[in-house]
Amino acid sequence: MRDVKPLLLNTDFPKIQRGRLQTLQMNLGYLCNLSCTHCHVNAGPKRTELMTRDTMRNALQFAERYHLEILDVTGGSPEMNPDFRWLVKQAKQQGLRVMDRCNPTILVEPGYQDTAEFLAEQQVEVIASLPCYLEDNVDAQRGKGVFKASIDGLQKLNALGYGRPDSGLVLNLVFNPQGISLPPPQQQLEQAYRQFLQGHFELQFNNLFTITNMPIQRFGAVLLAKGQFEEYMTVLKQAYRPENLEQVMCRSLLSVDWQGYVYDCDFNQMLELPLMGRRTHLHELLERMPDGLPVVVGEHCYGCTAGQGSSCTGVLS
């Protein structure tokens, strides 16, 4: 797989600085039961990288030290980390709002069938990937049978109250476009998702997040292989909107990899572009987290600022 990193480092992207830290996003490892073409993590069933409980303890101490509000847990499939449930319970006891970036097929995977019940019991917010509401498109991106398994997993969540009015159990879905295009307007697409999923599967959810595909890792390699990398970068740059700079997630989020090293965002983590430009472990920041640090930027940052903008919680504008 060709490395796209050298193509992203020479950039004219504007300089930005970090603001007040609110969210700690933890990548619990690259192990996943799927290998999706749009995956910017290059996760899959053969990956062995997993965060240890000691590193999780450091993260919880950091969150408490700086009075953070949100613990955003991702992967891979974060639920496949053996200490996932321990982490969630500890975080909830600390009063953190916990968000699980869930691949819904894991909820029906052998050995994980009680995961939905655990999430509901802990009142974890679920952000479930469903890159399209059409079966053929999802299976093309994620593998044959993934759409049906995803629907089965989402129906398990619905049965527990997720996505239903007044239940207090939040279920948000994530859309990723195919090919070299930006996501369509989020509100309009959410209405289409809601109508189709309700009409065909009686599925309910709270919100749809549209997220721009980043030209890194597996997706970046696919672009290079197809000779579409430069074309995609042109699409992102031509759609750049400077007003999105005020709301990009790297200003209020800190990303932690499976080993405990820190980055401005999950995308920088995958490109091995560390916070402050030097390899820094989370425990080094327990005494002091400097304010107003410059964000390490690259060409991929145009993905977050193109069009309606893109973050881990959907559009920016």
- Identify the pLDDT of residue 118: 98
In order of their start, the domains of the chain are 5-305 (3.20.20.70)
Residues 6+ apart with CB under 8 A from 304: 212, 244, 248, 249, 250, 267, 310, 311, 316
* 8 A C-beta contact, residue 75 and residue 43: yes
Q: Which amino acid is at 225?
A: A
Per-residue pLDDT at 160: 98
Residue 163, both tokens: 């996505």
* DSSP structural state of residue 31: B
Structure confidence at residue 291 as a pLDDT band (50, 70, 90): confident
pLDDT of residue 37: 54
Residue 130 CB-density burial (10 A; 0-12 exposed, 13-18 middle, 19+ buried):
buried
Model confidence pLDDT, tens digit, residues 62-95: 999 999 999 999 988 999 999 999 999 999 999 9
Q: Which residue has the higher pLDDT, 298 or 48?
A: 298
**pTM given for the model:** 0.92
pLDDT digits (tens, 9 = 90+) for 131-172: 889 888 888 877 788 899 999 999 999 999 999 988 999 999
- C-alpha distances (whole Å) from 66 to each of 23, 74, 195 are 10, 21, 42
